């Protein structure tokens, strides 16, 4: 968004505006002399509050511009002088428009309701503990507009200070219904006033009955705020663009240090014709080389470009004449570099549009679709086919993840790997669209630095997550480099918090590490039905891990449920007399396969499946029970149950045969207990129902 002219409404104007939306505010009068101040106060009724009115003074208390509890006429006159003197000392340039004399509201819980515009996600509403200590508390939460009533209610309950609203230590509860209505009214105010860019009501005083705004700051823009665009399915590139019949690499090379070498080598796996283009060579990597794209006899519908940036526009022109549909431009040196590069990129886009060529990149690693043996990138080794789509805003990250996926004994496969680069044409949404419609993809992982069209992203993601999980690693949570904090809504929640809220709202699972992302993707890909709850049963032969399970589960918000007494009694009939009769079920160190199966028979019986959502089976190296036996138990009961069953083999390489067996059957397995609960916790964080 470009900078538009804005101005701040006075507190009085703010009150008048908010009152139209049923937000109560004090009675007030603006005065310009001590005598008038006393007269106004008399009319309003003592005690009164007096505050500076100046467009330059945003934080009135900081400027000594607020006097509360004025008891009489002398007090009002004195306050007038005091405020003027302090404000002049604080900012000699400030234009003093007068002083507002207002009704002094009785003491209450000080809250903040604020609003701001996020350039990618649109209107954001902030709510939390307010007053002059707002920065100190930093207890705020946000919602993106439009909001539902449920979202407003959960917003209220999500702050730590909710305890104070509910009534802390014998105090009467505050008027939550009034608060709910006021937030809702503030949202309506924000949505219907298209010129409001930012506002805050700080504080809103909340009482046992009702409440009142006692400060209002509203920032208005001269023209209506430009909101982010909505999702338009027609804008998404059709799937067939990703299904070329023939591919050419322009800039293919025999020099192993060049990108054109690896890109061509990786493409050689492709089942259709692959042509090297290079005007200096007859042959490249054993294939006949062509001096230009037009010299290739057959049709070509996809090209990969590794040539220097300055040659890209003319080459795209040639590709257009050849009938190419998609160009993967790996080359860097465009918009990310300088203005010249930006101009070059615009030119490329212009030419591509003329011919209807769609572009991946530029300045990217490229695109890999392992199920189709299509690898347009220069990765050291192509990934295996699988069911995870990985869409990355970093080429290096994509490279690393591909490398990790090939680690011996821990291999996993992909349905799509793409580094989006500069997104001059195809963007995040296009690759997401591919993953959503691609039959090979079961789960989608995003590495996100910035999403420009956040609203469209959310609208799209909300639909996708009903069918396939989306997991996002979002960079940029640190405060470093962010503008110095000022006491207003704009800085109370940074853009990271907005992303987190956007993800929550559209069902995207936010994680912080690559490992978490892949673990979530694997588990979610293995689900037979969506997870509606986070109730776990834990079955183990390892007492220590039973104890630790309680700790980790609590840490990550997983509920270890009580097993009903009649089922415990049933388990008594086949378990040794000293078993713990509790969840986690500790089958004791000498447990054989039969004990595991016995307990699982009870728990997976149809009527008992509704008691839990997740079963965690944990084992350790021992002589009674082989890892393969545990692997087989996992396989058998995963077949039997609709619920999620995960395994945890703690004890290193000697347990690998069990791990391998379970993995072959797509059962999520772990070698570290904390990861089990962490993954489950991340996956189920936004599940409200138990
Ligand atoms: P600032 O510009 O510093 O945010 P405020 O108008 O919020 O100034 O006033 C500072 C504090 O004074 C408020 O947080 C509140 O505690 C108190 N206050 C202000 N106006 C009133 C009022 N009308 N009734 C009661 N308390 C008030
Ligand atoms: Mg204030």
DSSP per-residue letters across 96-129: --EEEEEEPPPP-EEEEEEEEEETTTEEEEEEEE
68 lines ligand 1 (CB under 6 A): yes
610 three-state secondary structure? helix
104 lines ligand 1 (CB under 6 A): yes
pLDDT at 482 over 60: no
Whole-number average pLDDT of the chain: 93
pLDDT at 216 over 70: yes
- What's the mean pLDDT in 210-218? 96
The ligand with the least distance to the CA atom of 106 is 1
**CA 50 / ligand 1 centre spacing (Å):** 9
131 lines ligand 1 (CB under 6 A): yes
* Residue from 40, 45, 55, 214 whose mutation best tests the ligand 1 pocket (most atoms within 8 A of CB): 214
User: pLDDT by residue (tens digit) across 55-113?
Assistant: 999 899 999 999 999 999 999 999 999 999 999 999 999 999 999 999 999 999 999 99
The ligand with the least distance to the CA atom of 110 is 1
CA 472 to chain CA centroid, Å, is: 6
What is the model's pLDDT at position 46?
A: 96
- What's the mean pLDDT in 665-670? 93
Tell me the C-alpha distance between 247 and 249, whole Å.
Answer: 7
* Residue from 8, 26, 41, 49 whose mutation best tests the ligand 1 pocket (most atoms within 8 A of CB): 49
% of the chain with per-residue pLDDT over 70: 97
Quick one: which atom of ligand 1 is closest to the CA of 11?
A: 6
Quick one: which atom of ligand 1 is closest to the CA of 203?
A: 14
Which residue, 607, 627, 611, is CA-closest to 619? 627
132 lines ligand 1 (CB under 6 A): yes
Tell me the C-alpha distance between 684 and 669, whole Å.
Answer: 18
**CA 54 / ligand 1 centre spacing (Å):** 15
pLDDT at 290 over 70: yes
DSSP 208: S
The ligand with the least distance to the CA atom of 109 is 1
Please report which confidence band the pLDDT of residue 493 belongs to, taking 50, 70 and 90 as the band edges.
low
pLDDT at 687 over 80: no
What is the model's pLDDT at position 479?
A: 67
What is the model's pLDDT at position 409?
A: 75
Quick one: which atom of ligand 1 is closest to the CA of 62?
A: 3
Residue 206, H or E segment: strand 196-206
Q: Which residues contact 152 (CB under 8 A, 6 or more apart)?
A: 143, 180, 183, 184, 187
Tell me the C-alpha distance between 66 and 89, whole Å.
Answer: 14
The ligand with the least distance to the CA atom of 131 is 1
DSSP 5: -
The residue whose CA is least distant from atom 10 of ligand 1 is: 61
pLDDT at 152 over 80: yes
The ligand with the least distance to the CA atom of 67 is 1
- What's the mean pLDDT in 591-595? 95
What is the model's pLDDT at position 193?
A: 96
Tell me the C-alpha distance between 382 and 369, whole Å.
Answer: 10
Backbone angles phi, psi at 377, to 5 degrees: -100, 175
Is the N-terminal amide bond of 203 cis, ω within 30° of 0? yes
76 lines ligand 1 (CB under 6 A): no
The ligand with the least distance to the CA atom of 114 is 2
- What's the mean pLDDT in 461-487? 75
**CA 317 / ligand 2 centre spacing (Å):** 59
* Residue from 203, 204, 488 whose mutation best tests the ligand 1 pocket (most atoms within 8 A of CB): 203
User: pLDDT by residue (tens digit) across 368-406?
Assistant: 999 999 999 999 999 999 999 999 999 999 999 999 999
Backbone angles phi, psi at 648, to 5 degrees: -135, 115
For residue 267, give both structure tokens: 């493409």
What is the model's pLDDT at position 690?
A: 37
pLDDT at 248 over 50: yes
44 lines ligand 1 (CB under 6 A): no
Please report which confidence band the pLDDT of residue 494 belongs to, taking 50, 70 and 90 as the band edges.
low
Please report which confidence band the pLDDT of residue 190 belongs to, taking 50, 70 and 90 as the band edges.
very high
Tell me the C-alpha distance between 353 and 320, whole Å.
Answer: 9
The residue whose CA is least distant from atom 19 of ligand 1 is: 214
List beta partners, residue 615.
537, 645
Residue 158: burial class (beta carbons within 10 Å; 0-12, 13-18, 19+): middle
The residue whose CA is least distant from atom 20 of ligand 1 is: 214
- What's the mean pLDDT in 564-573? 97
Residue 587: burial class (beta carbons within 10 Å; 0-12, 13-18, 19+): buried
User: pLDDT by residue (tens digit) across 297-338?
Assistant: 999 999 999 999 999 999 999 999 999 999 999 999 999 889
**CA 96 / ligand 2 centre spacing (Å):** 18
Q: What is the length of the chain?
A: 690
**CA 497 / ligand 2 centre spacing (Å):** 23
**CA 205 / ligand 1 centre spacing (Å):** 10
pLDDT at 486 over 50: no
What is the number of other CB atoms lying within 10 angstroms of the CB of residue 376? 31
105 lines ligand 1 (CB under 6 A): yes
Tell me the C-alpha distance between 78 and 82, whole Å.
Answer: 6
Tell me the C-alpha distance between 181 and 152, whole Å.
Answer: 9
**CA 204 / ligand 2 centre spacing (Å):** 9
The ligand with the least distance to the CA atom of 214 is 1
- What's the mean pLDDT in 487-514? 81
142 three-state secondary structure? strand
Tell me the C-alpha distance between 1 and 474, whole Å.
Answer: 22
What is the model's pLDDT at position 2?
A: 53
The CA–CA distances, whole Å, from 142 to 14, 194, 325, 381, 495 equal 22, 20, 43, 43, 11
The residue whose CA is least distant from atom 27 of ligand 1 is: 214
**CA 489 / ligand 2 centre spacing (Å):** 11
Q: Which residues contact 545 (CB under 8 A, 6 or more apart)?
A: 584, 618, 620, 648, 650, 673
pLDDT at 127 over 60: yes
For residue 233, give both structure tokens: 């399915």
What is the model's pLDDT at position 450?
A: 86
pLDDT at 508 over 60: yes
Q: Which ranges of 538-651 does DSSP label H, i.e. alpha helix? A: 543-555, 565-572, 593-603, 627-640
The residue whose CA is least distant from atom 21 of ligand 1 is: 214
Would you say 110 and 205 are in contact if contact means Cβ atoms under 8 Å apart?
yes
Tell me the C-alpha distance between 127 and 147, whole Å.
Answer: 13
Residue 649, H or E segment: strand 644-649
Task: Please list, residue by residue across 277-294, b when 16 or more beta carbons sit within 10 angstroms of its beta carbon and e when fewer do.
Answer: bbeeeeebbeeebbeebe
The residue whose CA is least distant from atom 3 of ligand 1 is: 61
What is the number of other CB atoms lying within 10 angstroms of the CB of residue 135? 12
Query: What's the 3-state SS for 397-461?
Result: HHHHHHHHHCCCCCCCEEEEEEECCCCCCCCHHHHHHHHHHCCCCCEEEEEECCCCCHHHHHHHH
Residue 481: burial class (beta carbons within 10 Å; 0-12, 13-18, 19+): exposed
Would you say 628 and 650 are in contact if contact means Cβ atoms under 8 Å apart?
no
* Residue from 26, 28, 54, 66 whose mutation best tests the ligand 1 pocket (most atoms within 8 A of CB): 66
**CA 491 / ligand 1 centre spacing (Å):** 20
Tell me the C-alpha distance between 588 and 569, whole Å.
Answer: 17
For residue 305, give both structure tokens: 């470009």
Query: What's the 3-state SS for 244-278?
Result: CCCEEEECCCCCCCCHHHHHHHHHCCCCCCEEEEC
What is the model's pLDDT at position 480?
A: 59
The residue whose CA is least distant from atom 13 of ligand 1 is: 131
Backbone angles phi, psi at 30, to 5 degrees: -100, 135
- What's the mean pLDDT in 212-238? 94
What is the number of other CB atoms lying within 10 angstroms of the CB of residue 545? 21
pLDDT at 22 over 60: yes
26 lines ligand 1 (CB under 6 A): yes
**CA 55 / ligand 2 centre spacing (Å):** 14
What is the model's pLDDT at position 49?
A: 97
Which residue, 431, 410, 433, 665, is CA-closest to 518? 410
60 lines ligand 1 (CB under 6 A): yes
Q: Which ranges of 506-542 does DSSP label H, i.e. alpha helix? A: 514-526
The CA–CA distances, whole Å, from 250 to 307, 319, 660 equal 7, 10, 42
Residue 511, H or E segment: strand 509-511
**CA 191 / ligand 1 centre spacing (Å):** 26
The residue whose CA is least distant from atom 23 of ligand 1 is: 104
Which residue, 428, 424, 430, is CA-closest to 449? 428
């Amino acid at each position: 968004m470009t900078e538009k002219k804005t101005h701040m409404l006075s507190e009085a104007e703010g009150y008048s505006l908010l009152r139209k939306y049923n937000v109560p505010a004090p009675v007030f009068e603006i005065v310009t002399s001590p005598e008038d101040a006393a007269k106004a106060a008399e009319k309003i009724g003592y005690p009164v509050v007096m505050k500076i009115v100046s467009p330059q003074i945003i934080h009135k208390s900081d400027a000594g511009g607020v006097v509360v509890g004025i008891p009489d006429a002398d007090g009002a006159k004195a306050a007038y002088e005091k405020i003027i003197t302090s404000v002049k000392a604080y900012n000699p340039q400030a234009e003093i428009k007068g002083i507002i004399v207002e009704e002094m509201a009785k003491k209450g819980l000080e809250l903040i309701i604020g609003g701001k515009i996020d350039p990618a996600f649109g209107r954001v509403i902030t709510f939390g503990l307010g007053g002059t200590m707002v920065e100190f508390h930093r207890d705020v939460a946000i919602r993106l507009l439009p909001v539902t009533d449920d979202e407003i209610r959960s917003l209220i309950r999500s702050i730590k200070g909710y305890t104070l609203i509910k009534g802390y230590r014998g105090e009467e509860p505050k008027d939550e219904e009034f608060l709910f209505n006021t937030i809702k009214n503030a949202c309506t105010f924000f949505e219907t006033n298209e010129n409001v860019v930012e506002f805050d009501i700080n504080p809103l005083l909340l009482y046992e009955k009702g409440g009142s705004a006692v400060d209002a700051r509203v920032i208005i823009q001269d023209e209506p705020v430009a909101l982010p665009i909505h999702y338009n399915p027609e804008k998404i590139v059709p799937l067939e663009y990703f299904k070329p019949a023939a591919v050419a690499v322009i800039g293919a090379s025999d020099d192993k240090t060049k990108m054109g070498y690896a890109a061509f080598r990786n493409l050689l796996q492709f089942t259709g014709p692959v042509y090297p283009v290079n005007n200096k060579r007859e042959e490249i990597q054993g294939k006949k080389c062509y001096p230009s794209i037009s010299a290739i006899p057959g049709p070509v519908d996809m090209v990969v470009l590794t040539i220097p940036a300055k040659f890209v526009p003319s080459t795209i022109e040639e590709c257009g004449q050849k009938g190419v549909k998609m160009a993967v431009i790996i080359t860097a040196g465009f918009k990310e570099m300088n203005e010249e590069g930006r101009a070059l990129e615009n030119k490329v886009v212009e030419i591509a549009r003329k011919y209807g060529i769609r572009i991946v990149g530029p300045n990217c690693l490229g695109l890999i679709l392992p199920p189709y043996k299509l690898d347009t990138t220069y990765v050291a080794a192509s990934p295996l086919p699988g069911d995870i789509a990985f869409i990355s805003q970093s080429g290096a990250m994509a490279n690393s993840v591909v490398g990790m996926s090939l680690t011996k004994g821990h291999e996993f496969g992909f349905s799509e790997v793409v580094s989006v680069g500069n997104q001059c044409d195809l963007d995040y949404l296009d690759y997401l669209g591919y993953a959503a419609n691609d039959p090979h993809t079961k789960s989608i992982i995003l590495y996100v630095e910035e999403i420009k069209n956040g609203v469209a992203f959310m609208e799209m993601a909300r639909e996708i997550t009903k069918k396939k999980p989306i997991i996002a690693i979002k960079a940029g949570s640190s405060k470093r480099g962010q503008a110095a904090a000022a006491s207003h809504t704009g800085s109370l929640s940074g853009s990271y918090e907005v992303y987190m809220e956007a993800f929550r709202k559209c069902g995207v699972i936010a994680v912080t590490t690559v490992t978490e992302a892949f673990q979530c993707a694997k588990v979610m890909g293995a689900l037979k039905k969506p997870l509606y709850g986070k109730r776990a049963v834990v079955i183990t032969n390892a007492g220590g891990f039973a104890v630790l399970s309680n700790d980790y589960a609590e840490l990550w918000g997983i509920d270890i449920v009580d097993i009903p007494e009649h089922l415990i009694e049933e388990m008594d009939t086949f378990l040794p007399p000293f078993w713990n009769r509790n969840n986690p079920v500790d089958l004791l160190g000498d447990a054989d396969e039969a004990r595991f199966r016995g307990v699982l028979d009870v728990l997976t019986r149809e009527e008992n499946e509704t008691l839990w959502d997740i079963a965690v089976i944990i084992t350790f190296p021992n002589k009674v029970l082989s890892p393969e036996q545990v692997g087989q138990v996992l396989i058998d009961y995963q077949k039997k149950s609709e619920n999620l069953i995960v395994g945890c083999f703690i004890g290193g390489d000697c347990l690998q045969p069990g791990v391998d067996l379970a993995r072959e059957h797509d059962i999520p397995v772990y070698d570290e207990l904390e990861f089990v609960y962490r993954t489950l916790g991340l996956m189920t964080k936004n599940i409200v129902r138990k």
